[in-house]
Structure 1
Amino acid sequence: MNSEDLAMLCSALSIKEKERPAGTLDPNLKEKGERLLSLCLVGKVFTNKLVNKDAPINVLTSIWRANEGVEIKALEGNVFAFYFKNTEDRKNIQSGGSWTFDRAIIAFEEPYGTGDIAHMNFNKVEFWVQIHNLPLFYMTEDIGAFLGKMIGEVSDVDLLTAKNVGGRSVRVRVAISTDEPLMRSLRVDLIGTGTITTMLLRYERLQDYCFKCSRVGYSLRDCVEPRKQIQQKQWQD
């Protein structure tokens, strides 16, 4: 039932019905509900098309490595609820993304309060982002975090991967707003001399992306911005 249906039902309530005493949920039932919510993620498949409800459930159930399994329920639109059995499984799935279905990114929200999806924005997605062309002297965790904050909300910094392959890069895990264009590079005066260093960004597992407006969630052919000449560069995995 969507919000419009609920509004119609509420408006149809008689004065007499509204004056009846309201029920109070048993504390034990409330505790069970809070426990269920604490192990839940709510995700929205970022596509303009309405997805088949069973397809994401079957795909994600098969590829996710949850030790105690995960129960997936379809909600309204392209929104799904993911119920885990323990916090470790939920954390591993969150940190293992970004996740996609049929090339469309899935934006996750941690439910709070009563878990009303009408109050969820689904406007942030976490990516591992590689920052390239970084001088060796500045390949530290603190500087990686500083650079990552220029992109989004930083949750992790990985220096080991770059060191193992001998590259001049760091990886940062950041939550990025889907309402804003993705940044392609960072320009930073690293040593305060006025000399600008340009560092290229490479987003891992980035699939459904528009090269015209630099936003995620749809492809170039679905972009609503006026058409213009674009040089398409394959800078994502």
Structure 2
Amino acid sequence: MKEKGAKIVAECLMGKIIHNRKVHVKGLRIAIKVVWRTTREVKIESLGDNIFMFRFENETDKRRVLAGGPWHFNRALIVLTEPSGIGDARECIGKFVILRISVDIMKPLKKVVVLTQEDVDNEEANDDDEDKEDISILVVYEKLPDFCFYCGCIEHQYKECVYYKSQSKDELAYG
């Protein structure tokens, strides 16, 4: 996993567009293709607040773009930098860590997963848990069948839930 994270980081540039309005990926993608004239496709992921991850398929293209600035989009400066870190639980690529998991369909879906940090690299680490920090991760599910937005069970929808009492959609625990 660390090797894959390091490879992804090596292929990327992080960029912020200094603009007071939201920049849309579609328009940025079209402009970048014309201006940067890369030999291979550049994938762009929005990370929010006009921050983008540019993933290059060609190292030469990446180096040329990084050295060729300053760049702009709609008269707004694009600040580019190489990311640091290897994509572990503390420094994930983008806003999300994407995992394929198995789910026990007889239990409610989890909304938060808590990871306990382990110090496996430090041989001198003591058994003290004081320096270890738990990491809470909000879980977002994709490609699920219908499930109950009230109790989180997959076996029924919220209007069929025995615990649902006509709450508004804002009050549903799972959105």
Q: TM-score range by the shorter chain?
A: 0.3 to 0.5
- Higher RCO (C-alpha under 8 Å, 6+ residues apart): 2
Per the normalisation by structure 2, the TM-score is 0.47
The structure with more helix, counted as a fraction of residues: 1
Per the normalisation by structure 1, the TM-score is 0.35
